[in-house]
Structure 1
Amino acid sequence: MIVELRRYTLRPGRRDELIELFDRQFVESQEELGMAVLGQFRDLDRPDSFVWLRGFPDMTVRGRALREFYGGPVWKQHGPAANATMLDSDDVLLLRAIVPPPASPRDDHRPASVVTATIWYRDRPFDDAFTRWFRGRDAGGAAVLSTEYAANDFPALPVREGEHAFVWFTRATGPMDGEGIEVPGQFGVTRTERLRLAPTARSAFR
């Protein structure tokens, strides 16, 4: 599975407006075209940030489905209202799933767990040796992904180029689940990001 980790910086105070529009108009309309809306989240530490995950079976489906959606009637009608809430929508990592994100019934309304995303970066691709080390820690992880290096075949939606990222999602059990995991120096991790994410009412990852 190919997965986009999309982080939007919004105009102050407009996050709930975008979430209401997104959950109402942009879930089924994308999935009908072969995409998977895997999760939608409020960033708990950035009040004007909206984070979501979109999946595709492969890059070929991605290119076709994005062209159909962004050239189609739903985006034509509701896209301008969505764009009006945003300051930036280009913070996107293109990833390949090692462990795909889980899916719960979308409208079961059970309380959702906070989801923690830990992102490790280094100056070269994360290889099988790193994946074996990670799995050997028995650290769990509801989803595990690393950078997909295929060319972005829908340049109207930019993705971050030249990044080497390894992303690990957990359902948080504390304020920063996964914070205690230290990567051995031999793996050359240069930077770590952590996101605390609250699923929206219609998020499949919850």
Structure 2
Amino acid sequence: MSAVGTRIVELRRYTLHPGARETLIALFEREFVTGQQEAGITVGGRFRDLGDPDRFVWLRAFPDMERRRRALEAFYGGPVWARHRDAANATMADSDDVLLLRGPGFLPEPGAREVTVTLCRPSDAAAFEAYAARHLGPGHALHRTEEAENDFPRLPVRTGEDVRVWFGPAEPPPWPVESLRLEPVRGQQPTRAR
């Protein structure tokens, strides 16, 4: 696992048209990783959802909300997206399942075959802090809901939720959770915004 500092992180879960996942992954790896990096975006882990053959999950990070807005404006107003957006959008049934988080970001260890992601909506923030202190370490890359308003409304994010997200196995918390089993896309390299 690779994680650095606390940043603004998007956890993006795309529902794709049946059979389109490999097409999107190939396009994403060939064009969108470098294209986003050049716009100031740090691209994190990219995954196939092992529980849904039509789901692609990925993360991207920004130093802060202002630089997020500027980087998204640069990428979505730039030549890479203009050239490839129609092909990317043709694979997607829904791209609006996005959590805006604050945390270190995440990239799987080289050679990892599976990553577990837990999404938890604790009913008691203090009780969650006690749970996290006992059961979650730095390697879990704990993320929390970012409370700032989405200032790039062209790309919606889910709102009105207090969510905690972590990577890797842990003792189950006493609140309802959603667990994802993800397979890392092969050949991922850490990408930092230039």
**TM class by shorter-chain length?**
0.7 to 0.9
Q: Equivalent residue for 1:198? A: 183
Aligned with 1:52: secondary structure?
strand
Aligned with 1:27: secondary structure?
helix
Cα displacement (A) at 1:153: 0.6
CA RMSD of aligned residues (A): 2.0
Aligned with 1:78: secondary structure?
helix
Q: Equivalent residue for 1:91? A: 97
Q: Which amino acid aligns with 1:150?
A: A
CA distance in 2, matches of 1:3, 1:28: 18
Cα displacement (A) at 1:152: 0.1
Aligned with 2:173: secondary structure?
coil
Q: Which consecutive unaligned segments of at least 5 residues does structure 1 have?
A: 105-109, 171-176
The percent of aligned pairs where both chains have the same amino acid is: 52
Aligned with 2:22: secondary structure?
helix
Q: Equivalent residue for 1:174? A: none
Q: Equivalent residue for 1:173? A: none
Q: Which amino acid aligns with 1:202?
A: G
Cα displacement (A) at 1:132: 4.1
Cα displacement (A) at 1:121: 1.1
CA distance in 2, matches of 1:167, 1:25: 28
TM-score by length of 1: 0.82
Q: Equivalent residue for 2:54? A: 48
Check conservation: 1:2, 1:59, Cα contact below 8 A: yes
Q: Which amino acid aligns with 1:201?
A: R
Cα displacement (A) at 1:34: 1.4
Q: Which amino acid aligns with 2:49?
A: D
Q: Equivalent residue for 1:101? A: 106
Aligned with 1:159: secondary structure?
coil
Aligned with 1:136: secondary structure?
helix
Query: Does 1:183 pair with 2:173?
Result: yes
Q: Which amino acid aligns with 2:77?
A: G
Closer, same or farther in 2 for the Cα pair 1:122/1:137, shift >3 Å?
closer
Q: Equivalent residue for 2:29? A: 23
Alignment of 1:41-80 (within 5 A): 41-80=47-86
Check conservation: 1:23, 1:202, Cα contact below 8 A: no
Cα deviation code 1:45-82 (max 9, x no counterpart): 10000000010000010000001100100000001100
Aligned with 1:26: secondary structure?
helix
Query: Does 1:112 pair with 2:112?
Result: yes
TM-score by length of 2: 0.87
Closer, same or farther in 2 for the Cα pair 1:103/1:49, shift >3 Å?
closer
Cα displacement (A) at 1:203: 2.8
Aligned with 1:39: secondary structure?
strand
Q: Which amino acid aligns with 1:4?
A: E
Q: Which consecutive unaligned segments of at least 5 residues does structure 2 have?
A: 1-6
Cα deviation code 1:73-97 (max 9, x no counterpart): 0000001100000000000000000
Cα displacement (A) at 1:113: 3.0
Check conservation: 1:102, 1:143, Cα contact below 8 A: no
